[in-house]
Amino acid sequence: MKPHTSERGFTIIELMVVVAIIAVLALIVVPTFLRETRKAKADTEINAMFTEIAIKEEQYKSENNGSYLPATTTCPTSPSSAGVDFNSTCVTTGSPWANLRISATDTKIRCTYSVTTGAAGTTLTPPSGFTVANQPAGAWYYILGTCDMDSRGGTNAQFFRTSVDTVVQKTNYGS
Residues of the chain with pLDDT under 70: 1-6, 152-154, 174-175
Structure confidence at residue 144 (pLDDT): 96
Per the CB < 8 A criterion, the answer to whether 53 and 113 are in contact is yes
The model carries a pTM of 0.81
Residue 125, phi then psi, degrees to nearest 5? -105, 110
- Residue 173 sits at φ, ψ, to 5 deg, of -75, -20
8-57 pLDDT, tens digit each: 788 899 999 999 999 999 998 888 887 788 888 889 999 999 999 999 99
Phi then psi dihedrals of residue 12, to 5 deg: -65, -35
Mean pLDDT of the chain: 88
Distance CA 65, CA 19 (A): 68
